[in-house]
Amino acid sequence: MEDLTRGNELIRDFEDIIKTQRPPDEFKSLKIGVDLGTANVVVSVLDSDNKPVMGAIQPAQVVRDGLVVDYVGAIRIVKRLKARIEEVISLPLKKAATAIPPGVNPGDVKAIGNVVEAAGFELTGIVDEPTAAAKVLGIKNGAVVDVGGGTTGISVLKNGEVVYVADEPTGGTHFTLVLAGNYRVSFEEAERIKLSKERSKEVFQVLIPVMEKVGSIIRNHIQDKEVDTIYLVGGTSCINGIERVIETHTGIKAVKPVNPLLVTPLGIAMLSEEGGG
Ligand X SMILES: Nc1ncnc2c1ncn2[C@@H]1O[C@H](COP(=O)(O)OP(=O)(O)OP(=O)(O)O)[C@@H](O)[C@H]1O
Shortest Cβ distance from residue 49 to ligand X (Å)? 26
Confirm if 154 and 217 have CB atoms less than 8 A apart: yes
Q: Is residue 265 a contact residue for Mg ion (CB under 5 A)?
A: no
Q: Is residue 37 a contact residue for Mg ion (CB under 5 A)?
A: yes
Radius of gyration of the CA atoms of the chain, in A: 18
Q: Is residue 150 a contact residue for ligand X (CB under 6 A)?
A: yes
Residue 141 binds what, of ligand X, Mg ion, none (CB under 5 to 8 Å, by partner type)?
none
The H-assigned helical ranges of the chain are: 5-20, 71-89, 106-118, 129-137, 172-183, 187-195, 200-222, 242-250, 263-270
Q: Is residue 238 a contact residue for ligand X (CB under 6 A)?
A: yes
Residue 47 binds what, of ligand X, Mg ion, none (CB under 5 to 8 Å, by partner type)?
none
Residue 167 binds what, of ligand X, Mg ion, none (CB under 5 to 8 Å, by partner type)?
none
Q: Which residues pair with 126 in a beta bridge?
A: 98
Reported residue count of the chain is: 277
Select the span of 18-26, 34-42, 106-114, 216-224 touching ligand X (CB under 6 A): 34-42
Whole-angstrom distance, CA of residue 199 vs CA of residue 197: 6
For the four alpha carbons of 126, 92, 277 and 262, in that order, the dihedral sign comes to negative
What character string, x for contact with ligand X (CB under 6 A) and - otherwise, covers 76-115?
----------------------------------------
User: Where does this chain bind ligand X (CB under 6 A)?
Assistant: 37-40, 65, 146, 148-151, 171-173, 191, 194-195, 234-236, 238-239, 261
